[in-house]
Amino acid sequence: MDTTAIVIVLALSVVTAVALGIALLGHRRAAAAARDAASVAAAADRLTTVQEQVSGQLNALAASTATHQAELGRTLNDRLDQVTKRIGDRLENTSEKTTKTLGALHTRLAMIDEARKHLTDLSSQVVGLQDILANKQARGAFGEVQLNDLVVNALPPSAYEFQSTLGNGRRGDCLIRLPNPPGPIVIDAKFPLESYHQLRAAEDDGARQQAERAFTAAIQKHVADISERYIVPGETADSALMFLPSEAVYAELHANFPAVVERSYRARVWIVSPTTLMATLNTVRAVLKDARMREQAGVIQKQVMDLMDDVGRLDTRVANLQKHFAQAEKDIREIGVSSDKITRKASRIEDLQLDDDDDTPVAPPPGLSAPVTH
């Protein structure tokens, strides 16, 4: 065989092999396509089943969702109703509280307005008081008025006298009528306001020392005047009272000026404030009451003796009355005895039985005569 024939044979062999390969490839593709079609059909069946399951689940989910939505709607409506009711109640309570608060606020504002008016009046009165205290004569009258009020409220009218003239011609603000000892005592009102204001207004040591000297001099002058004018031997007590109508001045004096107070003690002048004067007047009232009791002791003793005499006479009369009662009791007992005897005799008479057909005499009861026979 020549080369051409071999080439042809080989070419035919190659063509045949190619054709067989193509046929085999087509068959495989057909088989694969058939398998793919079967797989697709199975997948379609499974997909349909899944779709049906999903559809059922979706329907169940939709029904459940609708139920939950309905329940949620009812719950939300209930909650909204409750919230609305609570809000309404709270708004109503808040409105009531607000109304009450506004009413109370209105009342408080009215009270504040009234207090403001009082403060305004008080301010005007304070200004007027300052004007009064700026004048010495008016300040003295202020102290005398305060002294008069304290004395009138603490003592009976017979125990004091205002503006009483003493034997030396001096006139004290008030004379307290105490029995001897110690005797009548004078109270004079003093108000060293200028020196006290200087003392309070002092800004440095020099000004304060000057104010202290002025305050000390004013107090000592008042003490000397009272000791000289209102302590009269044989007419008044051996001491007198100086009335300071200011607790602040009194406190300043006793706190920072003990030497001045000691000098007033040696001069027999006792410095008092409204509070201490009230305590002193209460003591005076007790002394006056005790003096009146001593004055009335004789009268009380005589009345007691008369009362004892009356008690003795009462005892005698009670004894006589007891004797009368005893005699009456004895007479009543004797009357009872006589009554008993009469009753017994009457019973015996009732027990006596007389027979009209029997002429036999019957023995009479004791004390009666025998019957007469015919």
**Of 135, 127, 228, nearest in space to 186 by CA:** 228
Q: What is the pLDDT of residue 138?
A: 52
User: Which are the contacts of 243, defined by CB distance < 8 A and separation ≥ 6?
Assistant: 143, 147, 173, 187, 188, 189, 190, 272, 273, 277
Report the percentage of the chain scoring pLDDT > 90.
8
What confidence tier does 45 reach under pLDDT thresholds 50, 70, 90? confident
Residue 181: asked if its preceding bond is cis (omega within 30°), the reply is yes
pLDDT at 98 over 60: yes
Adjacent-strand bridge partners of 160: 176
CA distances from 272 to 6, 69, 190, 244 (A): 166, 93, 10, 6
pLDDT reading at 68 higher than 50: yes
Work out the average pLDDT over 46-71.
78
Name the β-bridge partners of 176: 160, 185
- The pTM of the full predicted model, rounded to 2 decimals, is 0.45
Residue type, 32: A
User: Is residue 137's pLDDT more than 70?
Assistant: no
Q: What's the whole-number average pLDDT of the chain?
A: 79
Phi and psi for 305 in degrees, rounded to 5?
A: -65, -40
Tokens found for residue 47: 């997909």
Bridging pattern class, strands 240-243 and 185-189: parallel
Rounded to whole angstroms, how far apart are CA atoms 286 and 117? Answer: 43
Q: At what angle do helices 205-230 and 193-201 cross, to 10 degrees?
A: 160
In this predicted structure, the answer to whether residue 348 has a pLDDT above a threshold of 70 is yes
Tell me the residue ranges of DSSP E strands in 36-170. Answer: 160-165
Cα 24 from Cα 44, distance rounded (Å): 29
> CA 8 to CA 4: how far, in whole Å?
6
Residue 184 and residue 238: Cα distance in Å, rounded?
A: 9
